[in-house]
Structure 1
Amino acid sequence: MSEDLVGELMTTLGDEGFFALVEAHAGMRLYVPADPGRSELPQTIGFDHAARLSKLYPGGYIKVPLAREFRALRYREAGLGNRDIARRLGLTESGVERLIRRARSANPGRGEKPADPRQMDLF
């Protein structure tokens, strides 16, 4: 996976658009039409994101990265546990733990589970 491609896609699409792209097409070779209105891409990632992608790669193919670290952090921030993250990413639970540990070291402050509103604050 090319880090240049990941950076370029994240810059172009933003976090939400990049997440939608990798959720729908991770690991696949994707044709990016010059006219996004004539494809199914807007249904999977949204018309605005499809238009941005079409402007960057009109009529070309891209290999959509797996972006497992990025996705694992997003899932963790959404409150999913290691078991559910492992199922979504096709990894083992211990693989998810290692992946999240590595992703947190590269992205400090990300990947924290949301606080449980039922939990009392004692301090």
Structure 2
Amino acid sequence: MEKEKESKMEAEEVKELLSAVSEFLKGLKEPLEEIMKMITESFSGEKLGREVASFYKSLIEAGLDAETAKSWTEKFMDEKLKTIPSISNFGEIIGSWMKREGENSKVSGKEEH
């Protein structure tokens, strides 16, 4: 009888844990969607193309020769592309956000024990 009671208690604890995890994951949906939207909007090919073209045009208008302007524009584009987060960087961003949210919960007293 005692084992059955312990089993039921463990099952309830697992149920509560899974419920908490489920709520946590639901809470991540909106922030993750916002982050993905921000990333995709800020690094759209169209926007990058306009920035690169504008950079090149401003160099030419400033009097640089076409070869130098092309070289500098290629470097400019390479640097812009380096700022696009990779999948591993995205994981780090999410981890950092989750850590910060956890700390905010502790400060505001929202964290449950």
Which structure shows the higher strand fraction?
Answer: 1
TM-score by length of 2: 0.25
Which structure shows the higher helix fraction?
Answer: 2
